[in-house]
Amino acid sequence: MNAVTAAPADPLPRLPASGAWREGDPPGRRRWHRLRRPLPLEAGGELPGVRLAFETWGRPAPDASNAVLVLHALTGDSHVAGPAGPGHPTPGWWDGLVGPGRALDTDRWFVVAPNVLGGCQGSTGPASPRPDGTRRWGGAFPFVTQRDQVAAERDLADALGIETWALVIGGSMGGMRALEWAVSYPERTGALLLLATTAAASAEQIAWASVQLHAIRSDPHWRGGDYHDTGSGPHAGLGLARRLAHVTYRSEAELRLRFGRAPQGTEHPWYGGRYQVESYLDHHAEKLIRRFDAASYVVLTEAMNAHDVGRDRGGVRAALRRVTAPTLVAGVDSDRLYPLSQQEELASGIPGADRLRVIESPYGHDGFLLETEQVGRLVRELLGPD
Ligand SMILES: CC(=O)SCCNC(=O)CCNC(=O)[C@H](O)C(C)(C)COP(=O)(O)OP(=O)(O)OC[C@H]1O[C@@H](n2cnc3c(N)ncnc32)[C@H](O)[C@@H]1OP(=O)(O)O
Ligand SMILES: N[C@@H](CCO)C(=O)O
C-alpha cells in the first residue's frame, strides 16, 4: 500500500485567478471562483481565502434562467462529464447524463458543477495553502458543515449571475447539499432532484463513517492531519476506509453473484492469497489513494455526519416544509447505506414532492451513479419538454 503514490497536494504558490463563464469557453474546462469575503462558519469563526473550482457545460441564457446545479458525492468532483485528462483524474462520473441530446441537454441547459468546499480537486480544503501562503491548512482546517459548503456555492452562483437554478440535483452527499440549497434558499431553487440521500445522517451512517475516520486517524502517517509536506501520508488508513465504505456502497447480492467465494486468479486464500472480492476492494482502495486526499476525506465525512437539515430549524419536518421547489426524490432499491425509508421521509415531508421514485439496480448505493438512464428519466420528467 505504501508503494502507491498519494493524490498530489495542491501546490503551494499556484492560485489561479477567478474566472466566470466566457463566450467560447470549452465545455468542462475547470475554472475557479474566489469568495469575496471570509466565509462565516456554522461551527463558529470564519474561513478566509476560500476558492471553489467548478466546471460548466452549455451556454447561459441572457438571464441565466437555464442554469442547472449538479452536486457531487463524497469522492466525486466537478468533472461530471467528459474524458479523463489533465486536471481530471477520472472520466466524468455522470457522463451519460450531460451533453447534447442527453437528459441534461447542453444545447438547452447551462450545467454548473463545483468541487465541494473541503474537497481536494481544486476547491479550498486541508491540502490548500492558507491565505498567507506560508503553510497548508492540514489539521488546522476548520470544521465545515453542508450549510457552509452551500453558502460558498451561493457565492459562486452570485458571481455567475445565477439568481435561480432551474434545477438543483445531487446524490448521496450531493443530495444533502441539494436539500440544503432548497431549504436555505428556496427562492433560488427552481426544481429539486434528490437521489439516495437523507434529511439527516442516521446513527448507522455515522457509525460506518466513524470507523472510516478511525482508520485514517490511527494511521501513524496521519500526524494530526499535518502530513502534506512530509512526503508520506495516511494511505493505508485511507485505503482501509475506502474498502469498508465500498462494501456499504454495493449490495450483498451483487458481491455474492459477482465474486462468490472465488479466489483471485491463482491465489489461494488459505496460503496468503486473496478472495476475488478482497482483490476488488484492494483495487478500489488503491485507486482512491491515487486521486484523493485523506484529510479531505475526513473533513467531508465529518460534514456528512453533521448533516441534519432540521438543526436550528425546529426539526426535520419543519425544515422540509420550507422547500417550495417542485421535487422528485428517488432511492435505490438495493441501497443498504441510504435505505428507502430515508427518501420516503423526504418525499412525504417536502410539500412539492411527487411520490417516492425507486431506481431498480443491483448495485446498491452506487446505483445513483451507475443507473444513468433511470436518473435521466427523472431529470427529463422534472425539467419537462423544451
Ligand atoms: C468513474 C469515476 O471514478 S468518477 C470519479 C468520481 N467518483 C465518484 O463519484 C464515485 C467513486 N467511484 C465509485 O463509487 C464506483 O467506483 C463507480 C460507481 C464510479 C464505478 O462503479 P462500477 O462501474 O460498477 O465499477 P466496479 O465497482 O465494478 O469496479 C470496476 C473496477 O474494479 C476492477 N475489478 C473488478 N474485479 C476485480 C478483482 N477481482 N480484482 C481487482 N480489481 C477488480 C475492474 O478491473 C475495474 O477497474 P477500473 O475501474 O480501474 O477499470
Ligand atoms: N461511490 C460514491 C459513494 C458515496 O456516495 C463516492 O465515492 O462518492
Please report which helix (H) or strand (E) contains residue 269, including its range. Answer: none
Choose which residue among 336, 365, 375 to substitute to test ligand 2 binding: the one with the highest number of ligand atoms within 8 A of its C-beta.
365
Ligand 1 geometric centre to CA of 280 (Å)? 9
Q: Which residue has the cell 426524490?
A: 329
**Binding site membership of 76 for ligand 1 (Cβ less than 6 Å):** yes
Query: Catalytic: which of 123, 128, 172, 251?
Result: 172
Report whether 169 contacts 70 (CB < 8 A): yes
Is the C-beta atom of 71 inside 6 A of ligand 2?
Answer: no
Q: What is the pLDDT of residue 19?
A: 53
**What is d(CA 67, CA 50) in angstroms, rounded to the nearest whole number?**
23
Highest mean pLDDT among 24-28, 79-83, 256-260: 256-260
CA dihedral 313, 318, 322, 327 (to 10 degrees): 130
> What's residue 28's pLDDT?
75
| Mean pLDDT value of segment 152-171 | 97
Identify the band that residue 12 occupies on the pLDDT scale cut at 50, 70 and 90.
very low
Instruction: Give me the mean pLDDT over the 289-317 stretch.
Output: 98
Helix ranges (DSSP H) in 143-275: 146-160, 173-184, 203-217, 235-249, 252-259
Proximal ligand: closest to the CA of 338:
2
Ligand located closest to 90 CA: 1
Residues in the chain: 386
Backbone angles phi, psi at 210, to 5 degrees: -70, -35
Q: What is the pLDDT of residue 385?
A: 83
Residue 115 has pLDDT above 50, yes or no: yes
In this prediction, residues 67-80 reach a mean pLDDT of 98
Rounded to whole angstroms, the Cα distance separating 314 from 50 reads: 30
- The mean per-residue pLDDT over the stretch 291-298 comes to 97
- Give 229's strand partners: none
What confidence score (pLDDT) does residue 14 get? 35
Q: What is the mean pLDDT of residues 213-241?
A: 97
Over the chain, what is the mean pLDDT? Answer: 93
| Model confidence at 386: pLDDT above 90 | no
For residue 3, is pLDDT > 60? no
pTM of the model: 0.94
Could you tell me if 46 and 144 are in contact, meaning their C-beta atoms sit under 8 angstroms apart?
no
Spatial separation of the C-alpha atoms in residues 43 and 148, rounded to whole Å:
9
**Closest protein CA for atom 3 of ligand 1:** 90
Residue 4 has pLDDT above 80, yes or no: no
Q: Pick the atom of ligand 2 nearest to 288's CA.
A: 7
Ligand 2 pocket: which of 70, 71, 75 to mutate (most atoms within 8 A of CB):
75
Whether the predicted interface score ipTM is above 0.85: yes
Question: Do 317 and 290 form a contact (C-beta atoms < 8 A)?
Answer: no
Residue 365 annotated among the catalytic residues of the structure: yes
Q: Is 282 known as a binding-site position? A: no
Atom of ligand 1 nearest to the CA of 277: 39
Alpha carbon separation from 75 to 71, 89, 198, 260, 296 (Å, rounded): 11, 12, 18, 27, 9
Per-residue pLDDT, 25: 66
CA of residue 292 to ligand 1 center, whole Å: 15
Residue 211, pLDDT > 90, answer yes
Residue 242 labeled ligand binder:
yes
Return the exposure string of 34-59: e unless at least 16 CB atoms fall within 10 Å of the residue's CB, then b.
Answer: bbeeebebeeeeebebbbbbbbbbbe
Q: What pLDDT sits at residue 17?
A: 40
**Confidence class for position 86, pLDDT limits 50, 70, 90:** confident
- For residue 6, is pLDDT > 90? no
Region 173-182: mean pLDDT is 99
Of 72, 369, 370, 375, best ligand 1 pocket probe by most atoms within 8 Å of the beta carbon:
369
**Residue 329 Cα, ligand 2 centroid: separation in angstroms?**
18
| Contact present, 305 and 201 (Cβ < 8 Å) | yes
| Nearest atom in ligand 2 to 171's CA | 5
pLDDT at 140 (0 to 100): 97
Q: pLDDT grade, residue 11 (50/70/90)? A: very low
Q: Is 183 strand, coil or helix?
A: helix
| pLDDT score, position 84 | 86
> CA 213 to CA 177: how far, in whole Å?
21
| Known catalytic residue at 335 | yes
Mean pLDDT of 63-87: 93
Nearest Cα to 280, choosing from 299, 254, 304? 254
Q: Report which DSSP code applies to 320.
A: H
- Is the pLDDT assigned to residue 341 strictly greater than 70? yes
Q: Which ligand is nearest to the CA of 286?
A: 1
**Is the minimum distance from the CB of 168 to ligand 1 under 6 angstroms?**
no
- Among all ligands shown, which has an atom nearest to the Cα of 241? 2
State if residue 249 touches ligand 2 by the CB under 6 angstroms criterion: yes
The pLDDT confidence band at residue 312, using thresholds 50, 70 and 90, is very high
Cell digits of residue 353: 414532492
pLDDT at 85: 77
